[in-house]
Copies of this chain bind each other. A is one copy, B any other.
Amino acid sequence: MTAVTGTFRNGVNTETMFATLDLIKAQPELARFQFRASNRWIDGAYNRSTIKGFYAAGGEDASRSEAFELDAGEPAILLGTDTGANPAEYLLHALAACLTTSIVYVAAARKVELTSVESTLTGDMDVRGALGVDDEPRNGFQQIRVALQVTGNAPAEKLREVVERGKARSAVYDMVTNGVPVAVEVATD
Contacts and interface: CB of A to CB of B under 8 A. Distances in A.
Task: Give the size range of A's interface with the partner.
Answer: 35 or more
The SS class assigned to the A binding surface is mixed
B94 A170 contact: no
Give the oligomeric copy count: 2
A30 to B, nearest CB: 9
Contacts of A176: 91, 175-176, 179-180, 182
Contact of A171 (B80, B130, B165): B130
B127 A180 contact: no
Contact of A146 (B95, B156, B184): B184
Most buried by B among A31, A84, A97, A106: A97
A100 to B, nearest CB: 5
Contact of A35 (B44, B89, B171): B89
Contacts of A141: 35, 171, 175, 180
B127 A34 contact: no
